[in-house]
């Protein structure tokens, strides 16, 4: 059970560990899915949180599209939830009484920004521990930005994003290319 009654009657949290995996997911890739599935084996509950990154003010896909892509891509598992937030990650973390923030690390180039975010979150909320999972070797070069660029110019991204969202992602990016180049 999630909550157990303590000896003196106040409810205390049981041993259940909740992890939040936040990101822009613009769009979700096999790299993200690998982290989600591995986190689901390590924690009792994983919340995949589509969040706003102010450093990326114009995500290509809308929040609703990004959530729908994840829902179509993640194999239903009782301990995986998908949600969104337009506020501070630590506020959501507190609201959910979470234990851990999960981040995937692909290469050293990810490290500095991720380390900074982990420290900021810990400073804002002492309980907010960040756990880094090393990306699968096959995903170390993979990013949503690369996927968007390749798909926009008609390249094959079927090895990078789930089949369930492939057509939708390709169609929207090809439309964008038409807008930009006129051909």
Residues with a known catalytic role: 32, 56, 106, 144
The two tokens of residue 145 are 């930005």
Tokens 């979150």, located at residue: 121
22 binds ligand PNS (CB under 6 A): yes
CB of 100 to ligand PNS, least distance (A): 14
Report the residue number, 143 or 174, with the smaller CB distance to ligand PNS: 143
**65, 42 in Cβ contact below 8 A?**
no
63 binds ligand PNS (CB under 6 A): no
Instruction: Identify the residue among 18, 29, 73, 121 touching ligand PNS (CB under 6 A).
Output: 121
- Residue 171: CB partners within 8 Å, gap ≥ 6? none
24 binds ligand PNS (CB under 6 A): yes
Instruction: Identify the residue among 6, 11, 13, 56 touching ligand PNS (CB under 6 A).
Output: 56
Q: Determine the Cα–Cα distance for residues 149 and 165; give it in Å rounded to an integer.
A: 16
53 binds ligand PNS (CB under 6 A): yes
Calculate the alpha carbon distances from 92 to 24, 49, 69, 77, 102 in Å: 15, 9, 22, 22, 14
**130, 101 in Cβ contact below 8 A?**
yes
CB of 118 to ligand PNS, least distance (A): 9
**93, 101 in Cβ contact below 8 A?**
yes
State the number of binding residues for ligand PNS (CB under 6 A).
12
Residues 74-93 that bind ligand PNS (CB under 6 A): 88-89
Residues 32-51 that bind ligand PNS (CB under 6 A): 51
Tokens 């909740």, located at residue: 18
Which parts of this chain interact with ligand PNS (CB under 6 A)? Answer: 22-24, 51-53, 56, 88-89, 117, 120-121
């Amino acid at each position: 059970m999630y909550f157990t009654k303590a000896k003196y009657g106040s409810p205390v949290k049981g041993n259940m560990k909740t992890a939040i995996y936040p990101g822009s997911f613009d769009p979700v890739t096999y790299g993200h899915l690998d982290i989600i599935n591995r986190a689901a084996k390590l924690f009792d509950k994983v919340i995949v949180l589509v969040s706003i990154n102010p450093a990326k003010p114009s995500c290509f896909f809308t929040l609703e599209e990004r959530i729908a892509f994840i829902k179509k891509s993640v194999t239903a598992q009782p301990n995986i939830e998908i949600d969104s937030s337009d506020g501070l990650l630590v506020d959501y973390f507190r609201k959910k009484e979470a234990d851990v923030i999960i981040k995937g690390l692909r290469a050293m180039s990810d490290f500095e920004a991720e380390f900074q975010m982990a420290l900021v979150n810990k400073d804002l909320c002492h309980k907010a521990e960040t756990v880094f999972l090393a990306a699968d070797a096959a995903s170390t070069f993979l990013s949503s930005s690369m996927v968007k660029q390749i798909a926009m110019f008609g390249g094959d991204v079927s090895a990078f994003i789930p089949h369930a969202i492939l057509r939708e992602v390709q169609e929207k990016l090809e439309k964008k290319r038409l807008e930009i180049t006129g051909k």
